[in-house]
Structure 1
Amino acid sequence: MSDVSAPKFLGQSTALPASPAEAQLDYVANPRPGVLYLVRFAAPEFTSLCPVTAQPDFAHLVIDYAPAATIVESKSLKLFLGSFRNHQAFHEDCTVGIGQRLFSEMQPLWLRIGGYWYPRGGIPIDVFWQSGAPPADLWLPEQGVAPYRGRG
């Protein structure tokens, strides 16, 4: 279970963690326990590095989750996502790893992540992961990121 305490980073000047492994995520008590609702984070400027060439890769991430006992504090999530800036990993590893870490630590009712990666070598890659079937009656809007179409 995630550690629910006062947020460590909120209101503080905080340096970007050197790596995702060093990044700490803060979780706070769900302000609406027992209510089924969806939280969405969009990170349209996510960056990481190719593990082969060390060239930058860019993605638009969309993270949706239905909270249980806790919610993730947004500044700590921003720092966690920013820690990938100098991290070398394949698109699949970044996307699925982010989703699995949030699900493991926060233990929401349900979580999904869509990683919409911009083309490298002429091929865009989209990566999707979810923790299981969404809860019944959860309003689940489309993630709203169109497939890559290029200039035309």
Structure 2
Amino acid sequence: MTEESLQLGQPTPLPAGPHEARLDRVPNPHPDTDYLARFTVPEFTSLCPVTGQPDFAILVIDYVPDRWLVESKSLKLYLGAFRNHGAFHEDCTVGIAKTLVDLLGPRYLRIGGFWYPRGGIPIDVFWQTGAPPASVWLPDPGVPPYRAR
């Protein structure tokens, strides 16, 4: 992938939905080192597939890269594209993680979807690829259990 093919540094409209979005990856400058990269998304939104009402979440994505890093602007556009996408919390959370795993082939990835309540019940969704490498510091996601977030 060349720098010219990246969305970075170019005006890029928000995609209509996640299936229209393009995630870019860039080479990891430290492929010989285990380290954790974290993306915290405090204002994630999608739509309830039944009612069309908005759903809100805090997403925390942790991954240990191998050969590739996700380019952050493309990730922002991809995640922003969910604002008009109808899917259940579980589908959004696990689908985002699987998409990143397919793109990056990381040594480890986990996602926490901390969803705000709808109908009085918060639904938090967690998924990971397996055990993290032993040498990696894996901090707490930093999102407290539900207490009227």
TM-score range, shorter chain: over 0.9
Q: TM-score, normalised by structure 1?
A: 0.95
Gaps of at least 5 residues in structure 2 are none
Residue 74 of structure 1 corresponds to 72
2:2 maps to what in 1? 5
SS at match of 1:135: coil
RMSD over aligned Cα atoms: 1.0
8 Å CA contact 1:5, 1:27 repeated in 2 = no
Match of 1:40 in 2: 38
Q: Distance in 2 between matches of 1:104 and 1:40?
A: 18
Aligned-residue sequence identity (percent) comes to: 68
* CA deviation after TM superposition for structure 1 residue 105, in Å: 1.1
Aligned counterparts of 1:106 and 1:12: Cα–Cα separation in 2: 22
Unpaired segments ≥5 residues, structure 1: none
How far apart are residue 66 of structure 1 and its match? 0.2
Moved over 4 A (4+): none
Task: Please state how far the C-alpha of 1:8 moved relative to its aligned partner.
Answer: 1.8
Mapped to 1, the partners of 2:144 and 2:2 lie a distance apart of 38
Q: Across the two proteins, how many residue pairs are aligned to each other? A: 148
Question: Deviations 1:1-43 (Å, cap 9, x if unpaired)?
Answer: xxx4325211111100111111110000001110110000000
1:16-27 residue pairs with structure 2 within 5 A?
16-27=14-25
User: Given the two structures, how large is their TM-score scaled by the length of structure 2?
Assistant: 0.96
Separation (CA, whole Å) in 2 of partners of 1:137 and 1:103: 20
Tell me what 1:86 maps to.
Answer: 84
> 2-side partners of 1:25 and 1:143: how far apart?
23
Give the Cα–Cα distance (whole angstroms) in 2 for the partners of residues 9 and 50 of structure 1.
Answer: 29
CA distance in 2, matches of 1:33, 1:98: 23
1:81 Cα deviation (Å)?
0.1
Instruction: Report matched runs for 1:113-132 at 5 Å.
Output: 113-132=111-130
Q: Which letter maps to 2:116?
A: Y
Q: Check if 1:59 corresponds to 2:52.
A: no
Alpha-carbon distance in structure 2 between the residues aligned to 1:95 and 1:18: 18
3-state secondary structure, aligned to 2:60? strand
